[in-house]
Amino acid sequence: MKLLQLICLVAFLLPNKALAEPVQWQADFRAANERALKGEYAQAISLYQSLLERGAQGADVHYNLGNALAEDGQWVNAIVHYEESLRLDPSAEDTQQNLAKVRRKLLGKAPEKEADNLALAEVLAPIVQLFDVHLALYLGLATNFIFFLLLALRKGSGFKALSLALSILAFSWVGAHYYVSVHQEAVVVESGPVKEGPSSAFKSSSQGKAGYKVRLLQQESGWWEIQFADGTTGWMPIQNIRILGKAS
């Protein structure tokens, strides 16, 4: 009880920044929305970007920033933030529709259907962020040890079932995190030739247009090997690629 009282006292005495910051975020978010509604897109964009830089990584912030960027004619950046919004809320129909419209304007055609592995990674990405992968790994190892210990001692059938279930859940979480990490997604933000190897000396195999969503395969010598939705692969300089999950 004394420990709990001490924790509560320390929490009370600490600066209330953790509580005050989200309130300020809400005020800034409303201010940005008002600027956007008035057509003051540059000011709205600046406010949305400030929110993201301060850690307000909500799907609605990315979505509204995407809208402001699209209205301001910054279509590639709008696509990046629509994609960021969909990472956090994959089922948002308005975001999907606006993304398709902007990509159609930019590329002059309807977007290609994504590969199944990219679609699955999109669904899993916001889920695996809810729990730290290292904690999941430790939980899996601990519960796995407890399960085999109880199995050896032939005791605690209920605890054995619980530890086994937790172990399976934890390792499944680790597996999902790994799947997302190896299916990392990005957007081509600067058009350029797609090379057959990680150097400008290699032959060009196609043209990578700004606005395309790609899967990252590997990085070498300042180049990314990427995979397009149709399954074709090639290399582009890292500066031509914006990795999703790291955009501000």
pLDDT digits (tens, 9 = 90+) for 62-120: 999 999 999 999 999 999 999 999 988 888 999 999 999 999 988 876 555 555 555 56
Contact in structure between 62 and 39 (CB atoms under 8 Å): no
2-11, 137-146, 162-171: least confidently modelled range:
2-11
Has residue 19 got a pLDDT over 50?
no
Out of 2.40.420.20, 3.30.2270.10, 2.40.100.10, 2.30.30.40, the CATH code matching 185-243 is: 2.30.30.40
Fold of 2-105: 1.25.40
pLDDT confidence of residue 9: 35
Residue of 158, 123, 228, 126 lying closest to 186 (CA atoms): 228
Question: Could you tell me the pTM of the whole model?
Answer: 0.67
Domain spans in the chain, listed from the N-terminal domain onward:
2-105, 127-180, 185-243
CA distances from 128 to 68, 69, 178, 215, 248 (A): 29, 29, 10, 18, 20
pLDDT confidence of residue 160: 67
Question: Which pairing describes strands 213-220 and 192-195: parallel, antiparallel, or unpaired?
Answer: unpaired
Residue of 244, 215, 246, 206 lying closest to 79 (CA atoms): 244
Which distant-in-sequence residues (6+ apart) come within 8 Å of 39 by Cβ? 71
Domains 2-105 and 185-243 alike in fold: no
pLDDT tens column, 155-172: 667 776 777 777 777 667
